[in-house]
Amino acid sequence: MKYFLSLLVATAFSTSVFSQTSVCGQFHKKYCVFESDKETGKWQYNAQSKSGLFNQGMVSKLRCVIYKGMDYRISVCCETILGEKVAYKIYDARTNELLFDNKTAEDTQQFEFQSVSTRQLIIEVVVPKGATEKDKHKAADAACVGLLIEHKLTDKQGFSQY
């Protein structure tokens, strides 16, 4: 009986986790703007990108690693009726210094930067409150959010070696 009960609980838990991931699991790949250009070696998909189901007003943080000599583009997208605007901030994980806040940059949903050192960042995302689109798989107060991270080698600048 204990075995059956454990199996039932494990199955219910895995079904719950799978249904949450399947609702928004690849949202960032479908709805965030990705401008891949394989011929010129420009932006490439970064595996640290994530999607998730968020309640309205929810705050979530993601830790990611950026590398020296790389350019990064971070795009955030959300399925709300509020103009698909999501608030986000980027912090240095070691010092907790605020590096970027999209509220001070006209609510831009895309941010590009160059990394001069390898370090960890914390990306904090805040989903706005408001009505969400109807979907039979989600609660009425929930929305899918995507965080797309892209990277490319930094272009060489200045004089080349002689």
Range with lowest mean pLDDT among 4-8, 71-75, 149-153, 154-158: 4-8
User: What total number of domains does the chain contain?
Assistant: 1
Q: With b meaning 16 or more CB within 10 Å and e meaning fewer, what string describes 129-141? A: eeebeeeeebeee
Would you say residue 159 lies in a domain? Answer: no
- Which pLDDT tens digit goes with each residue over 103-118? 999 888 899 999 999 9
List CB contacts of 141: < 8 A, sequence separation 6 or more.
55, 56, 132
Would you say residue 36 lies in a domain? Answer: yes
Would you say residue 162 lies in a domain? Answer: no
The pTM assigned to this predicted structure is 0.74
Would you say residue 29 lies in a domain? Answer: yes
What is the predicted pLDDT for the residue at 7? 46
- The domain that contains 110 carries what CATH number? 2.60.120.380
Contact by Cβ (8 Å): 74, 34: no
| pLDDT: which is higher, 23 or 52 | 52
Gap between the Cα atoms of 138 and 141, Å rounded: 8
